[in-house]
Structure 1
């Protein structure tokens, strides 16, 4: 059987962000990203019997619009604890789309898994039809 692992980190001008640990950190992340472009670095790896069979790295670039404190608090109140489960304290697939001015890159990469290259690997290796 295969083991699939994926991880994601956020880089904004040389500062690395992980998932916020609490609401205060989520506020700080959004304030730090406000009005700036950052990169989401996403990796996926397929392992079988302890041997790496394949890996892929992909980057997406996102430009956040300028956010004021009231908007940040309103957004985080609407998102709730889900903000703590996301790198950068946002989720693009929901109301988080309102945070952005410009997005470049694969949607699935932004969600945390470069799905299309993974599916290509599976088809190439006859794991999927």
Structure 2
């Protein structure tokens, strides 16, 4: 089975602005962004099965984008210390420019209270990788030491709800899973 990785040429901020004006639900936004990316790539790759995903963060009714620098990441993480937030991960499956299936899964994560010194140590260990995450942390990295509790699927937290996706592939494109065995 062959696969490739492709970027979607969509204006995420425009979609976000339009959708959040009508519906402030960040879970719906994660699904919408995943669908838009998937359709954009699928439209230019006829007959291919395309999987797309996106993730949004909801902290006390506010959303965030990837931090632009370490200072912004530190400020955000200090604001969330001792509090919970939700990660919404949308995933979509498309073929020939049309959505075949989509879903969104949510995980709730609670930071423990931590000092600025602890945070700086974590940021030193994480390095530039911290800037690639909407949440400004990597659960699979040194950032794990900042957490008190996690409710939800690990793959959802990483940004791809894998279990629902595998179920959808079994239902809609079983030949893809057979080819990978």
Question: Which residue matches 1:128?
Answer: 177
TM-score (norm 2): 0.69
Unaligned runs of 5+ in 2: 1-47
Deviation readout 1:87-116 (Å, 9 max, x if unpaired): 221111121211100000000000000001
Instruction: Report the 3-state secondary structure (helix = DSSP H, G, I; strand = E; otherwise coil) of the residue aligned with 1:89.
Output: coil
Max Rg structure: 2
SS in 2 for 1:120: helix
Q: Which is worse superposed, 94-103 or 105-114? A: 94-103
Q: Select the residue among 114, 123, 129 that pairs with 1:82.
A: 129
Does residue 109 of the first structure (1) align with residue 134 of the second (2)?
Answer: no
What secondary structure does 2:94 align onto? strand
Question: Is 2:95 the partner of 1:48?
Answer: yes
Higher relative contact order, chain-length normalized (CA < 8 Å, sep 6+): 1
TM-score (norm 1): 0.96
CA RMSD for the aligned pairs?
0.9
Larger deviation, residues 27-36 vs 108-117: 27-36
The ranges of structure 1 where at least 4 consecutive aligned residues each deviate by more than 6 angstroms after the TM superposition are none
Q: State the distance in 2 between where 1:77 and 1:97 align.
A: 14
CA distance in 1: counterparts of 2:56 and 2:115, whole angstroms: 24
Runs (5+) with no aligned partner, structure 1: none
Give me the whole-angstrom Cα distance separating, in 2, the residues matched to 1:43 and 1:117: 11
Where is the strand percentage greater, Structure 1 or Structure 2?
A: 1
Following TM superposition, by how much is the alpha carbon of 1:68 offset from its aligned partner in structure 2, in angstroms?
A: 1.0
Whole-angstrom CA distance in 1 between matches of 2:115 and 2:90: 32
Q: Which has the higher helix share?
A: 2
Deviates more, 1:27-36 or 1:101-110: 27-36
- Once the 2 structures are TM-superposed, how far is the Cα of residue 28 of structure 1 from its aligned partner? 1.2
